[in-house]
A and B are shown apart, each in its own frame.
Chain A
């Protein structure tokens, strides 16, 4: 686990990903200051959407990166001679990754909330701060599950580019493609994840059909497991160099 923490700390991609997420939040806060909105809900909506999108993309990039790092750097032999128990290697990677993404998502939500608070106070706009916090922090579980999905796809494809592309398609594009097949669309990962986030944020519009929170969580967990297990088993069983 220490080695995975060191990789996160020393290697460039995690650092730049964190900078991109937090930088994106800061830039959004600045934009809201420069181009003010009329009501607090608009501030929450803009910042909530940006934070959600940034953390999900970061989670996908970090998940794919962590799973494929050794394949891409040729350091797999070094990792597997330091720890020949492959399940432990994956558990350490995934454990550290989930903690890191959760920390990043919480930091992004906190920064976003702080910025919105400062900007709305300066502009004298009334804001439901409870709603702001719920909206921003509701993204954290989604970021974690997206990480697991991207990690699983990384193990399966063994290509960071391939894993990111497939994960982005799966999480962000597929629901749009299936909009004309609502019965199918209700069962895809992104719908369960979106419904889970909406329920946690308490942001369910009247008349919109949304899974209940337990069903949404169950759907997300099942999808995460389904997408994680094949790559995990492939890593355990294959000849690796």
Chain B
């Protein structure tokens, strides 16, 4: 535990404000990469996801994309892109990698959100005379917002994690403390950096969790991960239980 006290001392040292590699600058870099990549990913993935969800065509694309994003090693993409565009342009390479890894989650969220909307609601909207565009933007998009936010949340976490590796292609960010700490054997720096990274990820995760909850409340639905009461395994007498389940 001594090591963690050292890390804490490192984090609170005035050097972190005035010295080289100030915390604020590295945190700023990390957040900047994350926000930029998230926005670019969303601009690509949300329209595509809505299109797939609304038309029901191209679902395989969404599934394939998720599989590919999981299978492709982020460190490999980061290093190969950097080599291809040249170390001087590493920033472009890194953003491209973040976007490649961010798009599938957002696409899946946008698509799943639209697809999860009750078909009878969509039919009702159509019967009321809404055009397809109106159905998408006034019915499907708002009702699918919680799932879209879920997708953005996964993408943001994926990008934050990959941005940690960006230090290895010379891009700074919070990963730089880990990289320096490992090569210089300054364990307080390494642990301090890791703690900051975890905190950043947890805070971003919590913000998205709150946004998801607000969105769910706004459209008036229960959290979809919640467990329907009908599935409680407890023994009512057996026939009563199945009757109750039928009613529900």
Answer whether A and B are interacting partners: no
Mark B residues whose CB is within 8 Å of A.
none
Mark A residues whose CB is within 8 Å of B.
none
